[in-house]
Structure 1
Amino acid sequence: MIGLLATFVIQFTHIWDQNEIRTDLQEAVIESASDPKKFKPFDDGIFLLVYTHDGVVLRGNVPDLFPKEAPPSFDAITEVSHQNRSFLYYDAPIQHRPGVQGYIRGVVPMAFLDRKSNSMFFALLFGGILFVTVAAIGGYWIIQRGLKPVRTVTNLAAQISLKRDLSERIENIPESGDTIYQLASTFNHMLSSLEESSNREKRFNSDISHELRTPIAVIQAESDYARQYVASLEEAKESFQNIFVQSKGMADMVSQLLEIARLDSLTNIDKEPVPLSQVAEQLAHTYARLSKEKHLTFTSHIDESIIVYGNQILLQQAMANLLDNAFKFAHTRVHLEVSSGSTIHISVQDDGIGIPPESIPLIWDRLYQVDPSRTSKENKGLGLGLFFVQNVVQLHEGTLQVESTPDVKTTFGFELPIHNNSEI
């Protein structure tokens, strides 16, 4: 691009100078022919000569190699060449000089213009080389400096791939708000998400291994005992009963894990208008009967005609999970409330053992259980119910709530947004 620009500038300047020197030549000759006081033998590259009418030079110096036999040129500027040298010349008759007959000739060697063009060429060449050198060095420095965070990201990604350590982060990136900073921030955020997900999966694998180890061990022990020592039908039935209980627990766990895995993979669900009040009333009727068997007091307050936009099966199962959880740990009473205001609020309250404050952020994790008392034989659970509720609420764009005072009361709930009729 610099070479093309230089060529254009040189050609344009050469043509411009030619036109300008032609004009200057013509003006200088005409002025000298009309006013002898303005005659100068040499001025700004123009040689002026005084000729007699028969071609004898009276004043001025003829440029080297200019052909003396060149005929007069009164009508236009003429270009003449001699021994590889070119000249422009122009003649005008002498006026207002009594007793003098002749003409003024102006001559311009083309070598004068060539020297100007060559000087400009070398100036542009030197300037172009200097500019390209400075631009290359400066551009390389700027690019290296600008791409340093990108190289940091690349090297960090290679280290993570090699070490499999997701705790690494990109540091020392100035908060400039440019694209590089956004790239580094996004990469750090991605690493945090991956690390959290990886840690959660590790805990899940550890927990599920622990949960499955016990029933598998019981089944193996019962089978081995029955194979070697059972001598009567009653003893065999007892062993089969233990095996059945353990295998059923494993089947329930696998079923819930599959359901949760299905929810994890969903980013959207089929939604339709759900008569939430009717769904809640049916659950209240079912759990009212169950409360009599468990000798608990069950109460409910459900607003009428609540319609929510969502998946009826998932919402019903989420509310049932909260009720199951409350019935496991309640001492005397359980309360269900479904109300509508700026949002739709669903809550379940019990007077059970409660949850310590430090455990509340963890209760939504898979297989998490607060303490051994919550996994005692009569309150045996898999630790998947609240995780399921969390996924359902997130798919319905809702928010979760939990409040607990140990041995006083615990309230689990969630709120769902209200959609207008056009959205439904």
Structure 2
Amino acid sequence: MARLIKHATLVNEGKLYISDLRIENQVIAEIGPDLSAKPSEEVIDAQGMWLLPGMIDDQVHFREPGLTHKGSIASESAAAVAGGITSFMEMPNVSPSTTTRQALADKQAIAQRDSVANYAFYLGATPDNLDEIKAVDPQSVCGVKVFMGASTGDLLVEHPAALDAIFRECPTLIATHCEQGSVIQQNNARIEQQYGTPQIIHHPMIRDDEACYQSSSYAVALAKKYHTQLHVLHLTTAKELSLFSSAPLAEKHITAEACVHHLWFNEQDYPALGNLIKCNPAIKAESDRLALLKALHDGRIDIIATDHAPHTWQEKNVPYPQAPAGLPLVEHALLTLLEQVKRGAMTLEQVVEKTAHNVATRFAINKRGFLKEGYFADLVLIDPTRSTYVHHEQTRYLCKWSPFHNTTFSHQICATFVNGELVFDGDKVNTRHNAAQALRFNR
């Protein structure tokens, strides 16, 4: 359907300006003031609203295949578009793990059938799947995910020879989870000796800044040695920030990311929220949170993502050592960032840069992430005058809970468009049509 969005405040490439925007044949056909409606067009009056390129989330765990009691591509992509996320890149730690091209193809087929948002998938690295890594298609695979020192099953890669080979031979971007397992084990043993069975308040002590730094500095050293395209996921510590450059994004082959929950919560939130905010790497001190925000401003952190990782309420409500790590985030991630804007912690232009422009640029995504004529119409309309109240039962996640329960955000997502189709109208997600597409990468 052709659509004309009138009188919106567009946020794009560091500028805010009032304009109209026309959507035709899945793309942004025209941007300009006082565009005249065509007879067949739907006209949307967006006066007073912000029009942003949809968030591109480069790190989610949608749990399919094999873990669909926690979430599915259908359920979690629906929550994502309700949160203004129009594209996602999904991680390989499902069951079976996504460590072969066939497993990638199987996921693509599920997403083609069920996803409401655009999609791409990471191939998971193992100590012995180098041939699969070398054979991936850089134009259809967003990257290769390497769990460096903190994972379970076949996705843990610790041996130096295996890591060297992956960093040397990988034909596409490498995304790393960096925590050093030996440091975590030592910290855990010390906590057990000092306090007995560890509790949730000990989580940032067990997975501390040294565990993160030892692993991330190793990854950066390997990337410098082989000139690898490296993207370090979910930084959580001030200490790690010294590893990254404030140079323009176009000049970097090593980039860094922060996640919305590490920008929102700190270790003072553990007593109230407990295992609901248990995640790896851990939410840490307020000084670390503030350092991450500072690094967003100076360019050392290039991208903001979610690391959306749902678990059931029952799985979370067990003693700390047995509770799984991860929390559901996609439905309210953008709202948390808009709240940061209201607080003065970042600007609206920076939110768009870190959630859309830079993701599209870093991953070389074809014609997405900007409000430009000829680009796919992946858009989100925000009303800055209406609030959003969060309650567990009202979430769209399969797990039906949110770490933001009882929070009132100051903005409301009024519409989300994926390839020009209205997939969220501010109330309901439209899953009747198949608007979503596989992301393509210009590599």
Mark yes or no: TM-score above 0.5.
no
Shorter-chain TM-score bucket reads under 0.3
Q: Normalising to structure 1: TM-score of the pair?
A: 0.21
Q: Normalising to structure 2: TM-score of the pair?
A: 0.20
Query: Relative contact order: is structure 1 or structure 2 higher (C-alpha 8 Å, sep ≥ 6)?
Result: 2
**Bigger Rg over Cα:** 1
